[in-house]
Structure 1
Amino acid sequence: MAKTIFITGASRGFGKIWAEAFLKRGDKVIVTARNTDTLADLVSKYGDAVLPIQLDVNNRADSFAAVSQAKAHFGRIDVLINNAGYGLFGTIEETSEQEAREQIETNVFGLLWLTQAVLPVMRAQGSGHIIQVSSILGVATLPVLGIYNASKFAVEGLSETLASEVKDFGIKVSLIEPNGFSTEWAGASAIYSEPIAAYDQVKADFQAGLVDEIFGVPEATAGAVLKLVDAENPPLRLFLGKVALPWAKQVYADRLATWEEWADVSAAAHGK
């Protein structure tokens, strides 16, 4: 049965790849972008099955209006994929106030506004699936991406909480956590802070770790996303790529070891 999918940040990268995958199999898709000219090829190819909407997810009123427009046009929204976002590259000290605020504004609040907007629609339907595009960097961290890391950790906490709040309404929540993929995320889509020379070695070490083998093929993710959307009981979390799970296992093993090492101190702090 065809679904109606709402995807933010569909101008390129994952958003556009996934939108086309849904359209190819006969789903109806609402695609948003700041510049809808980037969606013209989808409209030309798939016609009435696709609804392009100009949207800056940072604008809460516009986000609610976009959901209302989509609901009025197609009659329902089965799936929301909050994909809009970008990466801010820079050490913590290098990051300006404006850069930090804009990163959190888009990656966290933009996602929150769309989530809030679609929830009444899905509650009225008695069904729905909200998919938040997080990252392995919402589970583990890398230097030079501190504010981005923080934004994805926030998305993780928000979405896990949301899942517990809306399950009785028939609404499911999933977090997609990709490792690195060869998209424009670190290129045209990225923002770079003003450098401080003291961090040159930190950045050189970071760059040295970005070998080709760790980056997946973006188009290969489409099958996994289709399976996630079609799953009767979708997982709360889904890694994309081969790198994420081994990394997460090591991170959690290290965390558990530290917590165990300090367990007596932790227990004593309870006071009774």
Structure 2
Amino acid sequence: MATSPASRVWFVTGASKGLGRAFAQAALEAGDRVVAVARRTAPLDELAAEHESRLLTLPLDVTDRDAVFAAVAKAVEHFGRLDIVVNNAGVLFLGMLEEFTEAQARTQMETNFFGALWVSQAVMPYLRAQGSGHLLQISSIGALGGFPSNGMYSASKFALEGMSEALAMEAASFGVKVTIVQPGGYWTDLYSTGMTMTEPMEAYDSLRAEMQKQWAEGSIDSDPRLAAEAVMKLVASDDPPLRLLLGSMVYDLAFDISRRRMDTWAAWEEVSRAAEHAIPAPGSDDS
């Protein structure tokens, strides 16, 4: 592990509550400077009073691309640089896929995927110019696989991870690092003010009841400060991973899902391999 450089500058989205606030607070307690952005910044007033010149709060809706670019420019103007960018802003829509309205589906993607894309695009010119920086894309256990009632949320996080894998390779030659953080369950406002339920269809009542029973029996979430402690170790590393799992449950689930996928691929290997046989390009002299 490397020694943390003095007074790094963080840019944290969705910083007014939950994981975002925990990340911002941990960074401030480490002596770093933080640009904390959120739709509503009033919940950050107390934190701002405690840390005065080391915390800049900016109101921002990450789905507004122009506003994102303006906020990033203001952050750099204020602190002179960016070192750690945390794409944490997100919303959660729960419901069976058949129940989703177009507006709900688009809102899910606009915040969780496009919001992170706009922030990534906005910060990259500054990070490239510096030749350094670390983007943390806050994904989810939902990106490990699709689950009933979680399909659109998982879709947004799958999209985020696909984009982030490509970004990591594109940014590497400029000295910029990217890590996809996959948290398990934490007690945040995502389950209350950040969550919207679809209008339930009677056809799914039995499945919904079964799922609610499973959640009641096995849902144990953690203090967001534990996630913040892990993130502080992550950003102190000279060689951060492309992916980091947070929590024993998500760690075990990741391996279980991966093994089941590998078993399925192996069982269908003959069919998979038979579907490929190189031939000359259509219309070529050899065809």
TM-score of the two chains, using structure 2 as the length reference: 0.92
Matching residue within 233, 240, 243 for 1:234: 240
Q: Does 1:47 align with 2:49?
A: no
- List, as ranges, runs of 4+ consecutive aligned residues in structure 1 with deviation greater than 3 Å: 211-214
Matching residue within 134, 139, 143 for 2:144: 139
Matching residue within 154, 159, 166 for 1:161: 166
Gaps of 5+ in 2: 1-5, 279-287
Aligned twin of 1:204: 209
Secondary structure at the residue paired with 2:34? Answer: strand
Aligned twin of 1:11: 16
User: What is the deviation of 1:217?
Assistant: 2.1
Is the 8 Å Cα contact of residues 127 and 169 (structure 1) preserved in structure 2?
A: yes
- The separation in 1 between residues aligned to 2:8 and 2:209, in whole angstroms, is 46
Q: Which has the higher mean CA deviation after the structures are superposed, 35-44 or 161-170?
A: 35-44
Q: Does 1:127 align with 2:132?
A: yes
- The separation in 2 between residues aligned to 1:40 and 1:214, in whole angstroms, is 30
Is the 8 Å Cα contact of residues 183 and 227 (structure 2) preserved in structure 1?
A: no
Is the 8 Å Cα contact of residues 81 and 132 (structure 1) preserved in structure 2?
A: yes
Aligned twin of 2:80: 75
For 2:251, the aligned partner's letter is L
Q: Which has the higher mean CA deviation after the structures are superposed, 186-195 or 63-72?
A: 186-195
Q: Does 1:195 align with 2:235?
A: no
Within a 5 Å distance, the mapping from 1:98-109 to structure 2 comes to 98-109=103-114
User: What is the deviation of 1:213?
Assistant: 5.3
Secondary structure at the residue paired with 2:178? Answer: strand
Aligned twin of 1:224: 230
Q: Does 1:257 align with 2:266?
A: no
Q: Which has the higher mean CA deviation after the structures are superposed, 65-74 or 185-194?
A: 185-194
Change (3 A) 1:139 1:2: same
Gaps of 5+ in 1: none
For 2:201, the aligned partner's letter is I
- The separation in 1 between residues aligned to 2:36 and 2:30, in whole angstroms, is 16
- The separation in 2 between residues aligned to 1:102 and 1:119, in whole angstroms, is 25
Q: Does 1:38 align with 2:14?
A: no
The superposition leaves residues 164-210 of structure 1 with CA deviations (integer Å, 9 ceiling, x where unpaired) of: 11101000000110111221211121011111011112112222222
Aligned twin of 2:284: none
- The separation in 2 between residues aligned to 1:107 and 1:269, in whole angstroms, is 36
User: What is the deviation of 1:148?
Assistant: 0.2
Secondary structure at the residue paired with 2:227? Answer: helix
The superposition leaves residues 209-255 of structure 1 with CA deviations (integer Å, 9 ceiling, x where unpaired) of: 22465422222212101011111111111111110111111111111
User: What is the deviation of 1:140?
Assistant: 2.0
The superposition leaves residues 81-135 of structure 1 with CA deviations (integer Å, 9 ceiling, x where unpaired) of: 0000011110000111000000000000000000000000000001000000001
For 1:185, the aligned partner's letter is L
Is the 8 Å Cα contact of residues 141 and 184 (structure 2) preserved in structure 1?
A: yes
Aligned twin of 2:282: none
For 1:204, the aligned partner's letter is A
Secondary structure at the residue paired with 2:276? Answer: coil
For 1:87, the aligned partner's letter is L
The number of aligned residues is 272
Percent identity between matched residues is 44
- The separation in 2 between residues aligned to 1:58 and 1:240, in whole angstroms, is 26
